């Protein structure tokens, strides 16, 4: 019975040092006893090291003039030259502008949309109707980006799409919406809402279900109307969840969905649809300009990190909820 005495020993030692950290000797024993668990984590840790940490280390090619022959470390160090090339390039302000317009638009529309759906669903007392709406609105989440973009293209095409049929019923003329730059951000943002609203609402519905029912009863006794109830109980109740999600979203603000934007691009709309991530892909992988493209990417990540940190700082100052 070696293991049973081991457990008793461990318990003793834990009692002995409770309040402080475990003694080194006990740590060693514990590692030894649970060697199988340490064996288990080796492979996943190796994965993280190879596919997450080596690329982080490799990000330094942004400061080098990368040549495949010389490798990550052997390539010449050029400092900030790649960055200054980017800042001076004629594309710089256009890329920043497009990226910001699309992300801020996404945030303004895409962030509140699931909240509104959840608040509305929460008012429904007919459980069957509620479940049906939830099921249907959740379904588009399973549609792949490729299929989603093809649906957008088909629906908006002047020949095949139903959107044109509807608009022409109101006497409007057919046009090639995908080719008009000023429409691009709206098409992107609203199709995202269509696809993600039901998925996004789930977390808020759970938060709403967690609100103390005493509050509703008290409000009812005080004669609160439905709108007052939503305003004074529901919305404050989901605030913590909303703030956390908002911080995470803002931290991703410059990373607007590469996959979808890239697929939605066509020669007619690039003036509005070229964003930093699509530019990185085209210059870097298609153009094999590795170092320059990595610099652009790094610049993007740094801005994201600054945004995340500042919004988190702000949230901590004005409310109780923050990421850390």
Partner 1 sequence: MARTNAIRESFGDKLFLTLVYAFLAFILLAVLYPLLYIVSSSFSSPQAVISGRVWLFPVEFSLAGYKAIFSNPQVMTGYGNSLFYTVFGVLINVTMTVMLAYPISKSTFYGRNVIMVILVITMMFSGGLIPYYLTVKNLGILDTRWAMLLPGAMAVWQVIIARTFFQTSIPKELGEAAELDGCTDMGFLWRVVLPLSKPILAVLVLMYAVGHWNAYFEALIFLKSQELFPLQIVLRNILILNSIDSSMMVDANKMAAMQGLKDLLKFSLIVVATVPVLAIYPFVQKYFVQGILIGSLKG
Interacting residues with partner 1 between 288 and 307 (CB under 8 A)? 290, 293-294, 297-298, 300-301, 305
Among 101, 202, 239, 268, binds partner 1 (CB under 8 A): 202
Crossing angle of helices 112-123 and 235-251, rounded to 10°: 160
For residue 51, the SS3 value is: helix
Among 135, 172, 218, 306, binds partner 1 (CB under 8 A): 135
Interacting residues with partner 1 between 38 and 57 (CB under 8 A)? 38, 40-41, 43-45, 47-48, 50-57
Q: Does 145 sit near partner 1 (CB under 8 A)?
A: yes
| Nearer to partner 1 among residue 156 and residue 272 (C-beta) | 156
Contact range with partner 1 by CB under 8 A, out of 82-90, 98-106, 281-289, 314-322:
281-289
Query: DSSP assignment, residue 320?
Result: S
How many positions of this chain bind partner 1 (CB under 8 A)? 95
Q: Does 12 sit near partner 1 (CB under 8 A)?
A: no
Contact range with partner 1 by CB under 8 A, out of 84-92, 98-106, 132-140, 231-239:
132-140
Closest CA to 194 of 110, 107, 101: 110
Considering all CA atoms of the chain, what is the largest pairwise distance in Å, rounded to the nearest integer? 86
Q: Does 73 sit near partner 1 (CB under 8 A)?
A: no
CA-based R_g, the chain, Å: 27
Question: Nearest distance from residue 236's CB to partner 1, in Å?
Answer: 18
Q: What's the token pair of residue 28?
A: 């060693």
| Nearer to partner 1 among residue 80 and residue 120 (C-beta) | 120
Contact range with partner 1 by CB under 8 A, out of 3-11, 74-82, 179-187, 231-239:
3-11
Among 225, 267, 317, 318, binds partner 1 (CB under 8 A): 225
Q: Tokens 């400092």 — which residue?
A: 79
Q: Does 218 sit near partner 1 (CB under 8 A)?
A: no
Among 160, 172, 218, 306, binds partner 1 (CB under 8 A): 160
Phi, psi of 216 (to 5 degrees): -65, -40
Interacting residues with partner 1 between 226 and 245 (CB under 8 A)? 226-227, 241, 244
Among 18, 36, 182, 213, binds partner 1 (CB under 8 A): 36
Among 111, 155, 183, 216, binds partner 1 (CB under 8 A): 155
Among 17, 23, 73, 139, binds partner 1 (CB under 8 A): 139
Q: For residue 195, give every residue at least 6 positions away whose Cβ sits within 8 Å of its Cβ, in sequence order, or none.
A: 140, 141, 143, 148
Contact range with partner 1 by CB under 8 A, out of 25-33, 80-88, 181-189, 312-320:
25-33
Distances 224 to 117, 122, 137, 227, 234 between C-alpha atoms, Å: 22, 17, 30, 8, 13
Distance CA 99, CA 87 (A): 15
| Nearer to partner 1 among residue 61 and residue 189 (C-beta) | 61
For residue 76, what are the β-bridge partners?
65
Q: Judge whether 9 and 16 are in contact, CB under 8 Å.
A: no
Q: Judge whether 322 and 243 are in contact, CB under 8 Å.
A: yes
Strands (DSSP E) contained in 47-111 are 64-65, 76-77
The DSSP string of 250-274 is HHTTT---HHHHHHH--TTTHHHH-
Closest CA to 140 of 200, 226, 186: 200
Question: Nearest distance from residue 53's CB to partner 1, in Å?
Answer: 8
Interacting residues with partner 1 between 163 and 182 (CB under 8 A)? 165
Phi, psi of 66 (to 5 degrees): -65, 130
Interacting residues with partner 1 between 79 and 108 (CB under 8 A)? none
| Nearer to partner 1 among residue 102 and residue 283 (C-beta) | 283
């Amino acid at each position: 019975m070696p293991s049973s005495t081991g457990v008793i020993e461990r318990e003793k030692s834990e009692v002995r040092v409770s309040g402080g950290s475990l003694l080194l000797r006990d740590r060693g024993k514990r590692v030894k006893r649970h060697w199988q668990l340490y064996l288990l984590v080796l492979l996943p840790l190796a994965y993280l090291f190879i596919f997450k940490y080596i690329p982080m280390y490799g990000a330094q090619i942004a400061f080098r003039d990368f040549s495949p022959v010389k490798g990550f470390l052997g390539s010449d160090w050029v400092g900030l030259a790649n960055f200054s090339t980017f800042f001076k390039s004629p594309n710089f302000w256009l890329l920043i502008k497009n990226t910001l317009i699309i992300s801020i638009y996404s945030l303004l529309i895409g962030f509140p949309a699931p909240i509104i759906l959840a608040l509305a669903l929460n008012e429904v007392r007919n459980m069957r109707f509620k479940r049906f709406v939830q099921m249907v609105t959740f379904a588009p989440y399973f549609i792949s980006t490729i299929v989603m973009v093809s649906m957008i293209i088909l629906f908006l095409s002047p020949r095949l799409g139903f959107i044109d049929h509807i608009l022409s019923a109101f006497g409007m003329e057919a046009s090639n919406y995908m080719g008009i730059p000023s429409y691009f951000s709206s098409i992107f943002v609203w199709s995202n809402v269509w696809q993600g609203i039901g998925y996004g609402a789930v977390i808020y519905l759970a938060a709403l279900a967690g609100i103390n029912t005493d509050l509703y009863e008290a409000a009812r006794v005080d004669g609160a109307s439905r709108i007052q109830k939503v305003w004074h109980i529901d919305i404050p109740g989901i605030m913590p969840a909303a703030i956390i999600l908002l911080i995470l979203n803002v931290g991703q603000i410059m990373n607007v969905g590469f996959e979808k934007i890239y697929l939605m691009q066509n020669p007619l709309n690039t003036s509005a649809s070229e964003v930093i991530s699509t530019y990185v892909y085209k210059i870097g992988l298609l153009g094999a300009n590795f170092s320059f493209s990595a610099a652009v990417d790094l610049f993007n990540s740094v801005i994201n990190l600054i945004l995340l940190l500042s919004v988190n700082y702000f949230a901590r100052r004005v409310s109780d909820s923050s990421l850390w």
